[in-house]
Amino acid sequence: MADGLDFDNVVARFYEPLYQFAFSLTHKEADACDLTQQTFYVWATKGHQLRDPAKVKTWLFTTLHRQFLESRRRLVRFPHHELDAASHELPVISPRVANHLDSAQVLAALSRVDDIYQAPVALFYLEDCSYKEIAEILNVPMGTVKSRISRGIGQLQALLADAAASVNPSPKRKV
C-alpha cells in the first residue's frame, strides 16, 4: 500500500493507541491484547478495501470497537462457566465405565447426536481439523463451529452417560 499504509507501518503507528483503547474497554491485559491482535488481523485481510488512507485510524478504532461489542454479545449468548461451578451439570461417568467404552460405542453415540453437530465434532476430534478449517469446510463462521462442537460434545457425553448407566445401573438403596 502507498502512503505508509503497509502492514508494518500501520502496526508500528497504531498498536499502542489501539491497545490502550482495548484495555479501557476490557480492563484485562489479555483481552486487550486479543482485541488488538484481532483488529490487525482484520486489517491484514480487509484493509486493502479502505479507499481513503487518511481514515485508517478511524477504520482501526471502529473495527476494534466492533470486535469488542461482538465479543460481549458472544459472552452473553455463550457465557463462560468455571468447571467447578458447572460440575453439577456434567454427566457422571466413573473411570471404570470410561475404561469400558470403546471407539465403536463412541461412534455409535456420535451417530445419534443432532445432525448439525455431528460434522463439526467428527472433523475436530476424528480428523484433527482446526476451527478455521472446519469453518471453511462447512461454510459457517468460526464462532458457530466452536458452539456446535461444544453442544455436540455435550450431547455425546449425555448419550454416553445414558449408555453407561444402562449397562451398569446403580444399586438400589433400601429405605
Domain ranges of the chain: 7-77, 93-167
CATH number assigned to the domain covering 7-77: 1.10.1740.10
Mind giving me the DSSP string for 69-131?
HHHHHHHHHS----HHHHGGGSPP--HHHHHH--HHHHHHHHHTS-HHHHHHHIIIIIS---H
The reported pLDDT for the residue numbered 30 is 94
Instruction: Identify the pLDDT of residue 11.
Output: 93
**Given a cut of 90, is residue 19 above it in pLDDT?**
yes
Lowest mean pLDDT among 19-23, 41-45, 81-85, 169-173: 169-173
Average pLDDT rounded to a whole number, residues 106-121: 87
Give the residue-averaged pLDDT of 89-105. Answer: 67
pTM of the model: 0.47
pLDDT at 171: 55
pLDDT, mean over the chain = 84
Residue (of 120, 150, 122) closest to 132 by Cα position: 120
Q: What would the mean pLDDT of 63-84 be, rounded to a whole number? A: 85
Split at pLDDT 50, 70, 90, the class of 2 is very low
Report the pLDDT value the prediction gives residue 175, as an integer from 0 to 100: 47
Band (1; pLDDT cuts 50, 70, 90):
very low
pLDDT band at 169 (very low <50, low <70, confident <90, very high): low
Which has more pLDDT, 169 or 31? 31
Question: Under the phi-then-psi rule, with left for phi > 0, alpha for psi from -120 to 50, and beta for the rest, what region is 95?
Answer: alpha
> For the structural domain made of 93-167, what CATH number should be given?
1.10.10.10
